[in-house]
Copies of this chain bind each other. A is one copy, B any other.
Amino acid sequence: MEGVHPMVMQRLLETNLEQTTGYGSDGYCEHARQLIRHSLGDDSLDVHFLVGGTQTNSTVIDAILCRNEAVLSAETGHINVHEAGAVEGWGHKIITLPSHSGKISAIELKSLIDSFYSDDTYTHMVPPGMLYISYPTEYGTLYSKSELEQIHSVCKDAGIPLFIDGARLGYGLTSDSCDISIAELPKLCDVFYIGGTKVGLLFGECVVARKGLLKNFFPQTVKRHGALLAKGRLLGVQFETLFTPQENGQPLYLEISRHAVSLAMELKKGFIEHGYRPFIDSPTNQQFFVLPNSVIEHLREHASFENWGAPGKEESQVRFVTSWATRPEDVKELLDLL
């Protein structure tokens, strides 16, 4: 991974010796919040900046759930697999739903909730208190607008908020398979975050919630989770740059995301042309292939990518990830190695 997008670095440099107040109370944060609300077309939204993804997930979930409630998640959800038990560390159960290439189904969700309340022993069980999904998912897949509407509708009927983990949000919104715009997102859920760490920033995740959802003690929850950045303006300066409209009227955030997705599509096409099989059909910046172990070994000498799960005997599952910083020649070079 690289550091930060050069335009953001430039702004950090320019503002470095300015004096501001701390903890997010400065003008940069305020301006960034305005730009983001503007991009989302809703001035009433509640906007907060945090540092990292696991931290954001555990803070938002802990702020929303009552002590007794569980968060629902696909069994492949990041909070269930790769956050070292942060959600449970704060006392909350994760109830899992089947994962369909990383996605949950509105029907299975409704069925789980209905079963809960028709069970005689439900006072011995943990009531669903919110739903967590990721967009794109951990497998690079995307919900359609209609799927999101159905899921949100089940949540509303059950009175539980829908939380979307957008650690890779840009790479979803700029996929050819995406049928929603960023401005539609606040209507399709109750709270989500715009991932910056994976999309051009040094670090930073921007939580967007419908007004009133994150109760008035949210700042204390953030502090309690060790998630309050002392020099909060670093988040403001970074997100301000990401959400300042470029010449074409689009925020930098979407521009650089589109670049990564486009290279991922080339990479995918190349692998398929060389006869390799994607085990997930991802339309975003993560690409998943089954490769012979010998090929994996060969590629590892030149490129960095991950095993996905435990390796197999003859062939293994691997994941390639492009980013705002990937260059066309990097993809070409990799494909040439095949």
- CB of A3 closer than 8 Å to a CB of B: yes
A6 at the interface (CB under 8 A from B): yes
How often does this chain occur in the complex, in copies?
4
A248 at the interface (CB under 8 A from B): no
Would B225 and A226 count as touching, CB distance under 8 A? yes
A115 within 8 A of B: yes
**B21 near A3: Cβ-Cβ < 8 Å:** no
Question: In whole angstroms, how far apart are the Cα atoms of A255 and B68 in the complex?
Answer: 39
Contact (Cβ within 8 A) B88 A223: no
Are B226 and A203 neighbours in the complex by a CB distance under 8 Å? Answer: no
> Nearest CB to that of A167 among chain B residues?
B230
Contact residues, A307-325 vs B (CB, 8 A): 307, 309-311, 325
- The stretch from A30-38, A51-59, A273-281 touching chain B is A51-59
CA–CA, A20 and B91, complex, Å: 34
**Interfacial chain B residues near A20, Cβ < 8 Å:** 1
* Closest residue of B by beta carbon distance from A66: B217
The residue of chain B having its C-beta at the shortest distance from the C-beta of A50 within the complex is B226
Partner of A3 from B12, B89, B93 at Cβ < 8 Å: B12
Contact B304 A21 (CB under 8 A): yes
Is A89's CB under 8 angstroms from B90's CB?
yes
Within 8 A of B (CB), among A1-19: 1-4, 6, 9, 12-13, 15-19
- A83 lies within 8 A of chain B by Cβ: yes
- Which one of B1, B6, B52, B93 contacts A228 once the chains associate, using CB atoms below 8 Å? B52
A81 at the B interface (CB under 8 A)? yes
Checking B21, B83, B224 against A84 with a beta-carbon cut-off of 8 angstroms, the contacting residue is B224
Q: Which of A133-190 contact B (CB under 8 A)?
A: none
Given known contacts A16-B4, A19-B1, A91-B91, is B83 in contact with A230 (CB within 8 Å)? no
Q: How far is the CA of A1 from the CA of B307 in the complex (A)?
A: 43
A70 within 8 A of B: yes
Residue among A93, A115, A118, A125 having the largest count of chain B Cβ atoms under 10 Å: A93
Cα separation A3 to B74 with both chains bound (whole Å): 40
Contact A306 B67 (CB under 8 A): no
Are B1 and A16 closer than 8 Å at their CB atoms?
no
Question: B226 and A58: CB pair below 8 A?
Answer: yes
Q: Which of A83, A89, A127 has the most CB of B within 10 A?
A: A89
Give CA–CA (A120, B318) in the complex, Å. Answer: 12
Chain B residue with Cβ nearest A75 = B96
Known: A54-B226, A82-B121, A124-B82. A3 touches B221 (CB 8 A): no
Q: Say yes or no: A126 contacts B220, CB within 8 Å.
A: yes
**Told that A88-B88, A203-B229 touch, could you supply 12 new A-B pairs with CB distance under 8 A?**
A17-B325, A21-B304, A67-B221, A81-B125, A82-B124, A83-B224, A84-B220, A88-B93, A88-B126, A120-B306, A120-B307, A203-B234
Q: Sample 14 A-B pairs with CB under 8 A, ordered by A number.
A: A1-B230, A6-B16, A6-B17, A52-B229, A69-B217, A83-B223, A83-B224, A84-B220, A85-B126, A114-B310, A119-B309, A120-B307, A121-B306, A126-B220
